[in-house]
Chain A
Amino acid sequence: MKIGVTAGADAEARTAALLDARAAALAARTVGQERTIETAAYLVCACGAERYGLPLTAVAGVTPERPCTELPGAPPALRGITAVAGVIVSVLDLAACLGLDRAETDETGHVVRLRAQEPPVALAVDRVLGIAQIETTLARPTPESESLGRGPLSGYAPPGSDRTGGIPEDFSVVDIPALLARFTT
């Protein structure tokens, strides 16, 4: 964090540092755009120690977590239902869906609303980190036969694969239809 580095300095130096950092980021992005490589945008979320990327085209919006109404007889991954902008949405715990233990944190998490689902579904994550642009080859859809063994994950982006530089860490690419297939059927 550049602000942290310059926190103790005077205001002019801090401003100069911020401007320098921003200019550097802009310059790096310009270099990436010159290479006309097909990229896809993913919303990167953190679940515990793991990070997962959701296809940005499947995401309708991000809201802060709010209280859910639990449903009786629901599977453990289904937290319950809540109302978002006048629409009742089923909230699924992404970590539970992927078979991870949900780490209990004091901070309120985020809820990612998915697009074009009936009934409407939202995924509860610990935190939405940001948007990453990665090469499409990294997240190619898996054949049907292979997806059974690999589950709802469709790819892996190694560290530094984000073209914008916003997400430096690695993350796994989540196949939304494969993920939701268990609950919709």
Chain B
Amino acid sequence: MSPVSISIGKRILLGFVAASLIVAALGAYALRQIGSVRDMTDLIVTRDVGVLRQLDDLGNVARNMGLVRRNAVISVLTQAQGNAASTSGRSDDFLGSWRQNVAELERLLNTITGEVKEYQSAALSADRVAAWGRLGAVFTETSEAFRQVRNASEQQLRAVDARDIATVEARNEDVNRLHDGLLRSISNARTALDGVIGAGQRSVSDIYRNSVISVAITVAASILLSILVTVLISRAVVRPLEDVMRFVAQIGDGDLTGRLNRSGSDEIGRLGDTLNRMVAGLSDLARTNRAATADLNAAAAEIRASAQQQAASVEEQFAAVQETAATVDEITHSGAQISKRATEVIATAQAAAQTARSGLRAATDTAKAMDSIREQGEAVAGNIVALSEKTQAIGEIIVTVNDISERTHLLALNAAIEAAAAGESGRSFAIVASEMKLLADQAKGATAQVRGILGEIQRGINASVMLTEEAVKRAAAGKNRTDSTVRTIEEMAARVEEGVQTFQQIVASTNQQQLGIEQVMGALQNIRQASQQTAAGTREVETASANLTELAQGLMALAERYRL
């Protein structure tokens, strides 16, 4: 068988088929041997038992024949002494039954003799042939004895019929002797049959022994054949498998460079292809694994760094939670203070509402006062206008006075000129003229001053008029403002009322807030515990990441084992 063309399954199947065939042949052979033994036994038993039974019948018939003869003899002898007439009919019956028995006996003898001859010719062993021969000789002897017995008995019975008692008695001794000889011969035949049976038993034993030996030889041969088949299968299966195992051991050592050089359509070939593909896949996997392990190493380092950062963050978080708890505590105190202050504010706001009502009254009074101020300002403005008209008149008067002083000035000058023209006589007049001129100049200066003062007065009046108008306007505006102040105060009072309600709501809200802050405190407590757990978890993560880093480095070393 070529190792390439036949698959291992078929090889093993072939081996099994061969072994099965051997076993089947062995079984068939053994069955045949057992069958022959059984046939032999059946044959022997059938023949021997049949002959034995016939032999028994033969004995019985022979004894019956003897009994019939003896009865006939006895009846004859009995008749001879007594009532011979009454029993004459019965002597016919004795002869008839005797003849019947003789015929039966003769038939049995012939049958047995024929069977013995037949069995002798068809005997299974020489021993049996000899035994059957002896049995045949015995039967021949028996037939001879039977003939003698028959002849003698027939003569005796004829004598019985003839009522020849003497003959009967004479013959009786001889017949009895012959009959005993017959019976002895039948007994001999039985003994000879025992020999046949013993020969048959020996023959069966021989056949059994031969069968055992042949079956043993066949079993040994089949064992040898099975060993041969096993060796062949092992040669066809184990050697390629050892190659494959060597290759697999090489792979196991981490050498992924080699390839299995086996091809073919059998299982080993397909296994080789599969292993080659597996090695290719493993190489790919190892490369990927190496890269992934490097990544894993980096990632583990990052995880470790992240875990450390996280640990720091958790510490910060813990600190922040502590601070938050402190802050919330402060908020609680603040809330209490807020509630207290809000209550105070409510009292203050109610006082403010009271104040706003009195302020409303005051503002209304102020509005009335503003109205009267405006009326008085308008009156003042009228008075100032009248005053301005008076100053206008004064100005006109001043113009006249100025004109007069001017004329006086010129008049004094002309007088001085005339005095100078008059010479020495006009000297005193010149002094008068000079004085006049001085007075005129002083008057002019005074009028100039008065004019300036009047201008100032006029400007002051104008300013006063404007201021008064402004005051009137402001009084009106003040009225408006006071009105708006009244409204504002009303609104303010309303707002203060709202504020009171709002602060009452604030107080309620603050109380709720206090409850909420207590819950927040509880939550912060939980957060603190969670932070501690997180810190513990982070330390574990850090340890785990350190382990992971070591694992990743171990994995790197493992991945380095593969030679690609």
CB pair A64–B410 under 8 Å, yes or no, is yes
A132–B409 CA distance with the chains assembled, in angstroms: 15
Stretch from A54-62, A72-80, A93-101 at the B interface: A54-62
CB pair A3–B413 under 8 Å, yes or no, is no
Stretch from B163-171, B240-248, B445-453, B531-539 at the A interface: B445-453
Instruction: Say yes or no: is B434 at the interface (Cβ < 8 Å to chain A).
Output: yes
Instruction: Say yes or no: is A110 at the interface (Cβ < 8 Å to chain B).
Output: yes
A56 contacts which chain B residues (CB < 8 A)? Answer: 416-417, 420
Instruction: Say yes or no: is A151 at the interface (Cβ < 8 Å to chain B).
Output: no
Cβ of A171 to closest chain B Cβ, rounded Å: 15
Cβ of A72 to closest chain B Cβ, rounded Å: 31
A62 contacts which chain B residues (CB < 8 A)? Answer: 410, 413-414, 417
A22–B453 CA distance with the chains assembled, in angstroms: 25
CB pair B420–A57 under 8 Å, yes or no, is yes
CB pair B420–A166 under 8 Å, yes or no, is no
- Size bracket, chain A contacts: 20 to 34
CB pair B434–A63 under 8 Å, yes or no, is no
Cβ of A129 to closest chain B Cβ, rounded Å: 9
CB pair B434–A1 under 8 Å, yes or no, is no
Instruction: Say yes or no: is B438 at the interface (Cβ < 8 Å to chain A).
Output: yes
Instruction: Say yes or no: is B374 at the interface (Cβ < 8 Å to chain A).
Output: no
CB pair B434–A166 under 8 Å, yes or no, is yes
CB pair B420–A7 under 8 Å, yes or no, is no
Cβ of B433 to closest chain A Cβ, rounded Å: 8
Instruction: Say yes or no: is A41 at the interface (Cβ < 8 Å to chain B).
Output: yes
A3 contacts which chain B residues (CB < 8 A)? Answer: 442, 445-446, 449
Instruction: Say yes or no: is B437 at the interface (Cβ < 8 Å to chain A).
Output: yes
Residues of A73-116 at the interface with B, using a CB-CB cut-off of 8 Å, are: 110, 115
Binary interface encoding of chain A residues 1-17 relative to chain B, with 1 for a CB under 8 A from any of its CBs, else 0: 11110010000000000
CB pair B438–A61 under 8 Å, yes or no, is no
A41–B437 CA distance with the chains assembled, in angstroms: 15
Give how many B residues have a beta carbon under 8 Å from the other chain's beta carbons.
20
Residues of B356-415 at the interface with A, using a CB-CB cut-off of 8 Å, are: 406-407, 409-410, 413-414
A25–B437 CA distance with the chains assembled, in angstroms: 14
CB pair B453–A7 under 8 Å, yes or no, is yes
B452 nearest CB neighbor, chain A only: A4
Instruction: Say yes or no: is A158 at the interface (Cβ < 8 Å to chain B).
Output: no
A7, A59, A115: the one within 8 Å of B449 (CB): A7
A59 contacts which chain B residues (CB < 8 A)? Answer: 417
A7 contacts which chain B residues (CB < 8 A)? Answer: 446, 449, 453
A4 nearest CB neighbor, chain B only: B449
B449 nearest CB neighbor, chain A only: A4
Cβ of A56 to closest chain B Cβ, rounded Å: 5
B453 contacts which chain A residues (CB < 8 A)? Answer: 7
Instruction: Say yes or no: is A139 at the interface (Cβ < 8 Å to chain B).
Output: no
Cβ of B48 to closest chain A Cβ, rounded Å: 199
Cβ of A96 to closest chain B Cβ, rounded Å: 22
B416 contacts which chain A residues (CB < 8 A)? Answer: 56, 131
CB pair A166–B437 under 8 Å, yes or no, is yes
B435 nearest CB neighbor, chain A only: A22
A4, A22, A57, A61: the one within 8 Å of B414 (CB): A61
CB pair A131–B434 under 8 Å, yes or no, is yes
A164–B412 CA distance with the chains assembled, in angstroms: 15
A110 contacts which chain B residues (CB < 8 A)? Answer: 410
A131–B421 CA distance with the chains assembled, in angstroms: 13
B446 contacts which chain A residues (CB < 8 A)? Answer: 1, 3-4, 7
Binary interface encoding of chain B residues 424-445 relative to chain A, with 1 for a CB under 8 A from any of its CBs, else 0: 0000000000100110011001
Instruction: Say yes or no: is A128 at the interface (Cβ < 8 Å to chain B).
Output: yes
Residues of B339-362 at the interface with A, using a CB-CB cut-off of 8 Å, are: none
Cβ of B452 to closest chain A Cβ, rounded Å: 9
Instruction: Say yes or no: is A130 at the interface (Cβ < 8 Å to chain B).
Output: yes
B406 contacts which chain A residues (CB < 8 A)? Answer: 64
CB pair A63–B410 under 8 Å, yes or no, is yes
A131 nearest CB neighbor, chain B only: B416
With A7-B449, A41-B420, A56-B420 already in contact, the answer to whether A166 and B413 are too (CB < 8 A) is no
Binary interface encoding of chain A residues 133-146 relative to chain B, with 1 for a CB under 8 A from any of its CBs, else 0: 00000000000000
A32–B214 CA distance with the chains assembled, in angstroms: 204
Cβ of A60 to closest chain B Cβ, rounded Å: 7
B residues with CB within 8 A of A = 406-407, 409-410, 413-414, 416-418, 420-421, 434, 437-438, 441-442, 445-446, 449, 453
**8 further interface pairs, Cβ-Cβ under 8 Å (given A7-B449, A22-B438, A166-B434):** A4-B446, A57-B421, A60-B417, A62-B414, A62-B417, A130-B437, A131-B420, A164-B434
Minimum-distance CB pairs A-B, first 5: A1-B445, A62-B413, A56-B420, A3-B446, A61-B414
A residues with CB within 8 A of B = 1-4, 7, 18, 22, 25, 41, 43, 56-57, 59-64, 110, 115, 128, 130-131, 164, 166
Can you identify 24 A-B contacts, CB atoms within 8 angstroms?
A1-B445, A1-B446, A1-B449, A2-B442, A3-B442, A7-B449, A18-B442, A43-B417, A56-B417, A57-B420, A57-B421, A60-B417, A61-B414, A62-B413, A62-B417, A110-B410, A115-B421, A128-B409, A128-B413, A130-B413, A130-B441, A131-B413, A131-B420, A131-B437
